[in-house]
Amino acid sequence: MLSNPHLDLTTKSETKLHAELARLRQENLELTTLNTVSQCAIVLLNQDLVVRCFTPRCRDFMRISNADIGTSIAHVSSRLGKFPLLHYLLQSTESRTALEFESTSETGFRILIRITPHYEPIGRAVSLAVTFIHIEELAQARQKLNDSQYLLRNVIDLVPHPIFARNAHGNFVLANRAKAQQYGLSVEELLTMNIDELPASDALRDANRREDQIVIEEQRAVHISEREIIDANNDRRFLQTSKVPFRPNEDSEPLMIGISVDVTDRKTEQEALRRRALYDRLTGLPNRGLFNERLKHAIERAERRDSNDFAVLFIDVDGFKQINDRLGHIAGDTLLKQISTRISDSARPGDTVARFGGDEFALLLTDIASWSDVETVTNRIHDAMSDPIPLADQDVCVTTSIGATLSRDIAAHSDDLLHAADLAMYQAKRSGPGNTRRSA
């Protein structure tokens, strides 16, 4: 077959054109890259050690200019004094390894020279990068970095809230003093540990693992509104924690950064407010509001099971006003606390004993099979009151009048049940001290 010389020439020209375009694109990329790191002094050479481009800082190190582009580095290296740059360039090319040396510039400052060869896949050197680093500037930069890290370390240690960071393997890479103290450790000790090595329940450890995984793998924040932990002092603490993803740069491993706020005091205050709202301050028993709430729940449970299996008792201390007037309010308060304890001890587990005010108490009995279950509890209360109560250097004997109603006797409404039990209590009083009456 005869070849077409014109076709061969065209093909070769196109190939050469494409190669030239590729070279120009590569040089443009290299120039762009060099400009982004213009704070460094970098000279880029081709395989023949000819200057291709450089960063502006090279002018400070070797008085290089645009006129040197396209000339041999041998001409430029003479400005480095006696430093044999050309020799090391050839050595780096032959050994295919990066080299690093120290030298002194013409103006007398010490410089670090780093030579890095770049190769094609077939192994032929295509370029060399020569980096010049001002050693004193490098030391100053490192000192600034150390100062910044020291400042950051002290700042986060001053924060009273636990701050921490873990990687995908569960290793701690950052922690402040508050976080370390949570485990009774120093910051240095905690930074050598994995989350699996910390004292915690399996459930808590698994929860932390799952949250860290979501933050790191899905790159989204996780917020824990409240979590109970046991700290190094074996105290229960409640923490509110936010975990967010963080990656310093593309080459860094993804991290989870967390910050916790101890809400124990706030929770304690909320619980104290709740107790003041729902419990009697003198005796610590539930008050009328909490009793009514539990009575309402008992009615709802009975309706769902289609059975009336609870009872309401109204209890009044016989002759309390006379005792209180004779011995004083302090003695009266002491008497009420003793009575509340005896009634509570007479009730069954799960029953609710409440103080409605003054000398009036109420008792909610659940799971009542018959009236005999109620009588068993009321008899225990009367028996408990038969023992004298030491009060103001004397023994005081008291009795109680009890009115009781079964949920099956009255339409299941809390007000009706309480009213029926109250009426039954007054009937018991009319019968004499220490009696119990069932609502009609």
Q: Does residue 433 contact residue 401 with C-beta atoms inside 8 Å?
A: yes
Q: Does residue 165 contact residue 246 with C-beta atoms inside 8 Å?
A: yes
Which pLDDT score is estimated for 76?
73
CA atoms within 13 A on the CB side of 138: 13
Let me know if residue 336 belongs to a domain: yes
**Do 216 and 339 fall within a single domain?**
no
**Do 133 and 183 fall within a single domain?**
no
**Do 238 and 125 fall within a single domain?**
no
**Do 303 and 416 fall within a single domain?**
yes
**Do 431 and 321 fall within a single domain?**
yes
The last residue of one of the domains, among 109, 138, 167, is 138
Backbone angles phi, psi at 124, to 5 degrees: -90, 135
Listed residue (258, 242, 251, 256) closest to 213, CA to CA: 256
**Do 133 and 166 fall within a single domain?**
no
Let me know if residue 114 belongs to a domain: yes
Let me know if residue 397 belongs to a domain: yes
Let me know if residue 7 belongs to a domain: no
Q: Does residue 3 contact residue 12 with C-beta atoms inside 8 Å?
A: no
The last residue of one of the domains, among 214, 242, 267, is 267
**Do 262 and 287 fall within a single domain?**
no
Which pLDDT score is estimated for 11?
53
Q: What's the whole-model pTM score?
A: 0.52
Give the C-alpha separation, 144 to 266, whole Å: 41
* Other CB atoms within 10 Å distance of the CB of residue 305: 9
Contacts of residue 333, defined as CB under 8 A and 6 or more positions apart, other chains included, come to 282
User: Residue 166 burial by CB count (10 A; 0-12/13-18/19+): exposed, middle or buried?
Assistant: buried
**Do 71 and 107 fall within a single domain?**
yes
β-sheet bridge partners, residue 315: 361, 402
Give the C-alpha separation, 406 to 70, whole Å: 107
Domain harbouring 87, CATH code = 3.30.450.20
Q: Encoding tokens for residue 122?
A: 């077939």
**Do 115 and 171 fall within a single domain?**
no
Quickly list H helices, 347-413.
Answer: 371-385
**Do 168 and 115 fall within a single domain?**
no
The whole domain housing 91 covers: 19-138
Sequence letter at residue 256: M
**Do 417 and 283 fall within a single domain?**
yes
**Do 349 and 319 fall within a single domain?**
yes
Which pLDDT score is estimated for 307?
57
Which pLDDT score is estimated for 349?
92
Give, to the nearest 10 degrees, the angle between helix 288-305 and helix 264-278: 80
Let me know if residue 384 belongs to a domain: yes
Q: Is 237 helix (H, G, I), strand (E, B) or coil?
A: strand
Let me know if residue 253 belongs to a domain: yes
Quote the number of domains for the chain: 3
Give the C-alpha separation, 351 to 389, whole Å: 24
- Where are the strands (E) in 28-73, listed by range? 41-46, 51-54
Let me know if residue 3 belongs to a domain: no
Give the C-alpha separation, 290 to 298, whole Å: 12
Which pLDDT score is estimated for 240?
93
Contacts of residue 210, defined as CB under 8 A and 6 or more positions apart, other chains included, come to none
Which pLDDT score is estimated for 341?
95
The last residue of one of the domains, among 71, 105, 138, is 138
Task: Output DSSP code: residue 78.
Answer: G
Residue corresponding to tokens 């030239």: 20
Backbone angles phi, psi at 110, to 5 degrees: -75, 140
Let me know if residue 149 belongs to a domain: no
Q: Encoding tokens for residue 119?
A: 């190769």
Which pLDDT score is estimated for 257?
93
Q: Encoding tokens for residue 437?
A: 């009456």
- Where are the strands (E) in 213-357, listed by range? 222-230, 236-246, 255-262, 310-317, 352-357
Backbone angles phi, psi at 433, to 5 degrees: -60, 145
Q: Does residue 37 contact residue 55 with C-beta atoms inside 8 Å?
A: yes
* Per-residue burial over 56-86, b = 16 or more CB atoms within 10 Å of its CB, e = otherwise: ebbeebbebeeebeeeebeebbeebeebebb
Q: Does residue 315 contact residue 401 with C-beta atoms inside 8 Å?
A: yes
Domain harbouring 384, CATH code = 3.30.70.270
Which pLDDT score is estimated for 172?
94
Which pLDDT score is estimated for 9?
43
Q: Does residue 417 contact residue 365 with C-beta atoms inside 8 Å?
A: no
Give the C-alpha separation, 181 to 355, whole Å: 44
Note down pLDDT in tens along the chain; length 440 residues.
434 444 444 555 556 555 655 554 555 455 545 454 446 788 888 878 888 888 887 777 677 788 888 888 777 776 665 656 767 777 776 767 788 877 776 666 777 888 888 776 555 556 788 887 777 777 777 777 777 777 777 778 888 899 999 999 999 998 999 999 999 999 999 999 999 888 888 888 899 999 999 999 999 999 999 998 888 888 889 999 999 999 877 778 899 999 999 999 998 888 888 888 899 999 999 999 999 999 998 888 887 775 558 999 999 999 999 998 888 999 999 999 999 999 999 999 999 999 999 999 999 998 888 899 999 999 999 999 999 998 878 889 999 999 999 988 776 577 888 999 999 999 999 999 999 999 87
